[in-house]
Amino acid sequence: MIGRVALGATLVLLTVSACGSTDSASEDTLTVFAAASLKNVFTGLEPEFEAANPGVDVRFSFAGSSDLAAQLLAGAPADVFAAADQPTMDKVVQGGRITAAPATFATNVLTLITAPGNPKGITGIEDLADATVVVCAPQVPCGRATQKVVQAAGTELRPASEESSVADVLTKVTSGQADAGLVYVTDATGAGSKVSTVPIPQASAAVNTYPIAVVADSEHPAAAKFTEFITGPAGRKALVAAGFGAP
């Protein structure tokens, strides 16, 4: 009798275990590589996308676009790539990891940020000579934009550091390690009261366009659905609210 009870319990456990394995296996994990400046918008949209696509679990990897592109070209597995500028996306296309035509879904421009209250009284690019300023590295989209903005201002910058992503520039300013930094308008908006913003007229000289595309070897049908979601009404509404411009 005891043997039968034990056998029955074992069968129940095996059945429960098998059911659990089936549920886990049916979940579609979607890996999205996205520029650091998209973090707030994309993570905010995640619940809505997953609710509309039951069984899909979105996993994000946020970093500087150039770093993400390098990972993709080195063979890193991913399903979707959203870059902060077209040249970075072009490199991935040329490397064969993306074969479909990328879709432009947003634009962004730079602005100056300082500590709250702007204690140094910075009014524009020309006031940065006597300030500790941080910028993005030249190989990063926000770094390329920074170079164009500085050239348009007819001046030179001697940054204290060059960061690998716009998020790192923001952190240096909010943590008090720098007096000022050049970041995207969207990052300044997202930082709220942690920074003061100084609009710069030269920003129009460097408008970044954001492309998104499905990675060529992705095996997830939800990858195309995600790009359609970002370029569709829900994505557009969230992007505009965050300060991004229309493509």
Closest CA to 80 of 227, 246, 209: 227
Confidence of residue 130 (pLDDT cuts 50, 70, 90): confident
Domain ranges of the chain: 28-107+209-242, 110-205
What's the CA angle centered on 127, arms 123 and 131, to 5 degrees?
Answer: 115
**Domains 28-107+209-242 and 110-205 agree in fold:** yes
The stretches of the chain forming alpha helices (DSSP H) are 2-26, 39-52, 65-73, 86-94, 141-153, 166-174, 185-191, 222-231, 233-241
Beta strands at 80-82 and 196-198: parallel, antiparallel or unpaired? unpaired
List, for residues 197-236, the tens digit of each pLDDT value.
Answer: 999 999 999 999 999 999 999 999 999 999 999 999 999 9
Which homologous superfamily does the CATH classification assign to the domain defined by 110-205? Answer: Periplasmic binding protein-like II (3.40.190.10)
Strand partners, 163: 136
Q: What is the pTM of this model?
A: 0.83
Torsion of CA 103, 107, 110, 116, to 10 degrees: -110
* Cα–Cα distance for residue pair 122/114, rounded to 1 Å: 8
List, for residues 77-99, the tens digit of each pLDDT value.
Answer: 999 999 999 999 999 999 999 99
165 assigned to a ligand binding site: no
Which homologous superfamily does the CATH classification assign to the domain defined by 28-107+209-242? Answer: Periplasmic binding protein-like II (3.40.190.10)
Residue with tokens 């164009």: 148
184 assigned to a ligand binding site: yes
Asked if 154 contacts 212 with a C-beta cutoff of 8 angstroms, the reply is: no
Q: Would the pLDDT of 161 be above 80? A: yes
210 assigned to a ligand binding site: no
166 assigned to a ligand binding site: yes
